[in-house]
Amino acid sequence: MKITLNRGAVQAFAFDILCVMALVVIGTRNHDTDTGLSGILFVAAPFLIALLGAHLVLNVLGKTTFVTGIWGSTVLFGMALRNLAFNRGTALAFVLVASVFLAATMWGWRAVVAKRHS
């Protein structure tokens, strides 16, 4: 098993963390839930765990730029963890909003970076 921590992989993981955190902060503020650090981290945890797993697996497979896999795994496994391990709801509306938001932000920052480097 080979994990390569090059600058691009670390940057991608960091920006993807920001995408997840933006979703969580906006969501907790809009729903008047715990907006303290512990509340935000509790809501973000299943998605951050899924994101880490996606980046590690895709890195080992040599597919570090496969945003569809990163996004899909983050949403799918994040929702599963949220429901099964964290005993939190996964209402269809939340799944849709999270899916669209993470798609827009995860693809969005990559498009901006690609445009700057072209």
User: How far is the C-alpha of 46 from the C-alpha of 78, rounded, in Å?
Assistant: 5
SS3 84: helix
Report yes or no: 60 and 86 within 8 Å, Cβ to Cβ. Answer: no
User: How far is the C-alpha of 9 from the C-alpha of 2, rounded, in Å?
Assistant: 13
Helix axes 7-30, 37-60, angle to 10 degrees: 150
pTM for the model: 0.91
Distances (CA, A) of 11 to 2, 3, 4, 94, 108: 18, 15, 13, 27, 14
- pLDDT one digit per residue (tens) for the chain, 118 residues: 666 678 888 899 999 999 999 999 999 988 878 778 999 999 999 999 999 999 999 888 888 778 999 999 999 999 999 999 999 989 999 999 999 999 999 999 999 999 998 8
